[in-house]
Amino acid sequence: MTIFSATLTLFLVMDSLGNIPLFISVLRNVDDRRRGAVIVREMFIALGVLTLFLFFGRFLLNGLQISEESLSMGGGVVLFLIALKMIFPTAENSMATGVPHGDPVVVPLAVPLIAGPSSIATVMLIATQHPDRMPVWFLALFLAWSASCLILVSADRLRRRLGTSFLTAIERLMGMILVTLSFEMLISGLSRFLESV
What CA dihedral angle connects 170, 175, 181 and 183, to 10 degrees? -150
Give the pTM. 0.84
Q: What pLDDT does residue 43 have?
A: 97
Listed in sequence order, the residues at least 6 apart from 99 whose beta carbon sits closer than 8 Å to its beta carbon are 26, 27, 29, 30
The number of angstroms, rounded, from the C-alpha of 131 to the middle of its chain's C-alpha atoms is 21
> What is the pLDDT at residue 166?
86
Q: How far apart are CA 116 and CA 80, in angstroms?
A: 14
pLDDT averaged per 10 residues, the chain (length 197): 92 90 86 91 97 94 88 87 83 47 80 90 90 96 98 91 85 88 89 88
Looking at residue 98, its pLDDT comes to 44
Provide the domain count of the chain. 1
Task: Tell me how far apart the alpha carbons of residues 116 and 96 are, in angstroms, rounded to a whole number.
Answer: 15
Which residue range forms the structural domain that includes residue 172? 3-196
- State residue 101's pLDDT score: 53
> Distances in Å between the alpha carbon of 189 and those of 34, 56, 77, 107, 176?
44, 21, 11, 31, 20
pLDDT value of residue 102: 59
Give the closest residue to 84 by CA, choosing from 15, 134, 35, 152.
15
